Amino acid sequence: MGILMTSLGPGITLELLSDVASVEKLLRHKKADEVSGPSVSIYLELVHLQEAASTYELVEVSTGGKLSRHNLHVQQLGPDTATELSTFHLSVGDQTQDLHSRLILDHPRGRSQQLHKCIVAHSQGQAVFDGNVKVNRYAQQTDAGQLTRSLLLEPRATVNVKPNLQIIADDVKCSHGAAISDLEETQLFYFQARGIDLETARKALVFSFGAEVIERLPNSFMQKQVESHVKGLLSSTFKGSSH
């Protein structure tokens, strides 16, 4: 399922979604949220009945309003179940991008992968990632991974990340990681060594940061539209940048 949401002007958006991924079924949610103006966007998603051998995929790109809050709850209720969560959040003004996710694995041979990326490109911008993955006692032979990467483009930009794995089962393969940084000097040097000026190099690296998530949107039209929107927002930050 692909959804492209565009909201203009002040207001509040509240979305409540509860779904069931039945046995051996694939459920996909693909969302691109483009909000402008002093809007408040609040999203609440509940996917609490992911049954045996089912697959759930979420791809979300959010450029927010004043506040964008997403509460995501996924629970695997049968063996051989797969969950893939991919999110890219962008804050280019006095905005807060806030993601709280909880994934519960209760049965054998469950698989889950969570990728969260965000860019904060304003001194008053902030992003929050609170991701909890719980592997319970009977979820043996689980394969779970969680990675959050954040890019700060202004000195006073703020990111708070809390990746969390709670593992009770003893026969599992689980990993998680978190990275918060500006652009790496080695990457910039690579471009400059090939005759590319610093500003062009920075733009190329910043524009490509969220591509890994955007490319998972369901079709090329949606991908190009979201990519153009993201580049437009980021271009405006470069005009006033001191880098």
Domain residue ranges in the chain? 2-183
Q: How far apart are alpha carbons 137 and 42 in whole angstroms?
A: 34
- pLDDT (tens digit per residue) in 111-151: 999 999 999 999 999 999 999 999 999 999 999 999 999 99
Q: Tell me which residue of 197, 66, 205 sits closest to 126, measured CA to CA.
A: 66
Q: How far apart are alpha carbons 144 and 13 in whole angstroms?
A: 32
CA angle at 215 for the pair 212 and 67, rounded to the nearest 5°? 75
pLDDT score for 146: 98
The owner of tokens 């695997």 is 76
Q: Which amino acid is at 59?
A: V
Residues 6+ positions from 18 with CB-CB distance below 8 Å: 46, 47, 48
pLDDT score for 1: 46
Q: Which amino acid is at 91?
A: S
Cα-to-chain-centroid distance, residue 152: 15
Low-confidence stretches of the chain (pLDDT < 70) are 1-20, 23-24, 35-39, 46, 48, 239-243
pLDDT score for 190: 86
Locate 9 and state its tokens: 């002007």
pTM here is 0.90
